[in-house]
Amino acid sequence: MPQQHSCSFCGKTPLSKNEIGITKKLYGAKPRNFFCIECLARHLEISTQDVLDTIEDYKAEGCKMFE
């Protein structure tokens, strides 16, 4: 059973594979906190669409951390 992660800001549980993947991409392989897409966007002051676009870019590169 994979470990479940929660958003450190809003508590959303469980986070999707994409949300975990993008957190690792932005904060390193073993981030202390995980964030959902909405909280990431707010934290980075970008739109949620920007976060989704970034995830799509990584997926297009064949990154296995995303689904």
- Applying CB under 5 A, the residues found at the interface with Zn ion are 7, 9-10, 12, 36, 39
Query: How would you label 19-31 residue by residue, b for 16+ Cβ within 10 Å and e otherwise?
Result: bbbbbebeeeeee
Tell me the closest approach of the beta carbon of residue 51 to Zn ion, in angstroms: 12
Residue nearer to Zn ion on the CB measure, 34 or 64: 34
Residues near 45 by Cβ (< 8 Å), separated by ≥ 6?
none
Dig out the tokens for 31 from the structure.
Answer: 């981030």
Q: Which is nearer to Zn ion, 39 or 66 (CB)?
A: 39
Closer to Zn ion by CB, 9 or 27: give it.
Answer: 9
